[in-house]
Amino acid sequence: MASLFIPVILGTARKGRRSEHVARFVFEETKKRAGVETEFVDICKIPMRLDDAGEQIKDPAFSDLVTRADGLILVVPEYNHGYPGLLKHALDMNLKEFMFGNGIGAQGNDVFETRLRARGLTHHLWYNAHNQYITTLFSIGLSGLILLSAIIYYCIHLGIKTKNVTLISFTMLTAFAMSSESIFERASGTAFFCVVMLLLSNPGEDSLEKT
């Protein structure tokens, strides 16, 4: 199996940067990994013009490194809730070499999976079918799919039993939406579903008085 080439990039040029110690530590640890080749890249050592941007000012050596890399480890401090502008400047010089911009759809997955298959790493592939049922089956297995179906069934059954039309409608709409999107792959989707289900499944004071 061919080894992976994963450079470590120190993403700030500020004097007195403490992140250099972290980057050096990560670099040394990465060198210890079997089947992984690495290289230390200091962002301030990359020759960059500041009077232009993008492909016009790319550095051939850094461009070749990005092309050969199977991935990049970026050690970057937070600057005003973002990353240093100099790092973005360096990355923007190599847009064609990056897979950035392809998103998480079919095109991005195809590029990523092709790189992995070339190195015999098919068992590391991540699959998002944009279908919660299929994604659950691939991620957790048949037991996870059964549990998901049981949750949906229970919510509908509870709605029918309590004559809660809103609960029934929301559950059915969610079940339908999961056929075209993996909503539980996002923390916000999971939180939204749980909160709404808790609110809708609450029988309320009137129902408690009747019981």
| Structural domains in the chain, sorted by start | 4-124 (3.40.50.360), 132-210 (no CATH)
Query: pLDDT tens digit string along 114-154?
Result: 655 665 555 444 455 578 888 777 777 788 889 889 988 98
User: Residue 38 CA to chain centroid, in angstroms?
Assistant: 23
CA-to-CA separations, 21 to 76, 82, 117, in angstroms, rounded:
12, 20, 34
CB 128 within 8 A of CB 185: yes
What pLDDT shows up at residue 148?
A: 87
CA-to-CA separations, 61 to 11, 16, 90, 94, in angstroms, rounded:
17, 26, 12, 11
CB 127 within 8 A of CB 115: no
SS3 for 15-67, per residue?
Answer: CCCCHHHHHHHHHHHHHCCCCEECCEEEHHHCCCCCCCCHHHHCCHHHHHHHH
User: Residue 201 CA to chain centroid, in angstroms?
Assistant: 32
How large is the average pLDDT for residues 93-112?
55
Residue 16 pLDDT class (50, 70, 90 cuts): confident
* pLDDT at residue 201 tops 80: no
What pLDDT shows up at residue 57?
A: 80
What pLDDT shows up at residue 30?
A: 94
Helix (H, G, I), strand (E, B), or coil: what is residue 73? strand
pTM (two decimals)? 0.48
Choice between 95 and 149, residue whose per-residue pLDDT is larger:
149
Choice between 181 and 161, residue whose per-residue pLDDT is larger:
161
